[in-house]
Amino acid sequence: MPEAHSLHRHARDQRAALAGQVLSVSSPQGRFDATPFDGHRLVDVQAHGKHLLYSFEQAPDVHVHLGMKGIFLRTEDLSLPPRAGTRMRLAGETTAFSLIAPSRCEALDAAARAELLASLGPDPLREGAAAREEAARRLGTARGAVGAAVLDQSVWAGIGNAWRAELLFLAGIDPGRRVDEAEAGRVWDLAVELLPLGVDAGQVVSDPTAPDERWVYKRETCRRCGSPVGTRTVGGRTAYTCPVDQR
């Protein structure tokens, strides 16, 4: 599933290409009612964790969650017909984005938008260092293993399995145990430092000196010490850990 860095990259790119323009909005697939948005000006596109919110003039917001299979296709050739499976197509003056196979694509009124945002924890790419105390409190007081809690979007928004593996490795924390607020603050600091690099690179970047490498995520051996990477299920997802560096 795309994690926060991917959603913030989508928001940045689409905002730059479409914001301020009157859009042609359609649903070639027919599973999204584009009528309230077609011919309206797009004001902004924002990412909140793994969610995208599109704000239009004189229209509700559009909420998108990509889920496991959702993708965006971009084109600068507006004469090309969209794929039949496109749930929502946003076409501006020179650029169009086609959304395919999202888990959610829906209109949100102000109350529903507020309810969605209230359900999410702090996002390292939005609040950054300013949210450190709240983020540390939420993770440090969460019940159960840190590896499950950090995937809970009501604790922190935007962290998925890849970032979990790399952040907890760098913090020296095994995902199967609980953490205190000091340890949680260290993990947050790493997220605030590294996730912006992921937005720019379009991938998880857990080592700025080797952006294409991972420490433990989907590796057979730990990149730091060479020990075999251990795997087990934590929080319903496969956790990748180094038995030496994450005791």
List the beta bridge partners of residue 72: 99
3 is catalytic: yes
List the catalytic residue out of 3, 124, 166, 223: 3
Q: What are phi and psi of 22, to 5 degrees?
A: -80, 125
List the catalytic residue out of 9, 28, 50, 223: 50
2 is catalytic: yes
List the catalytic residue out of 2, 102, 122, 175: 2
Cα atoms in the Cβ-side hemisphere of radius 13 Å centred on 11: 28
List the catalytic residue out of 15, 104, 178, 237: 237
CA 34 to chain centre: 24
List the beta bridge partners of residue 233: 238
As a whole number of Å, the end-to-end CA separation of the chain is 28
81 is catalytic: no
137 is catalytic: no
* Active site members: 2-3, 50, 237
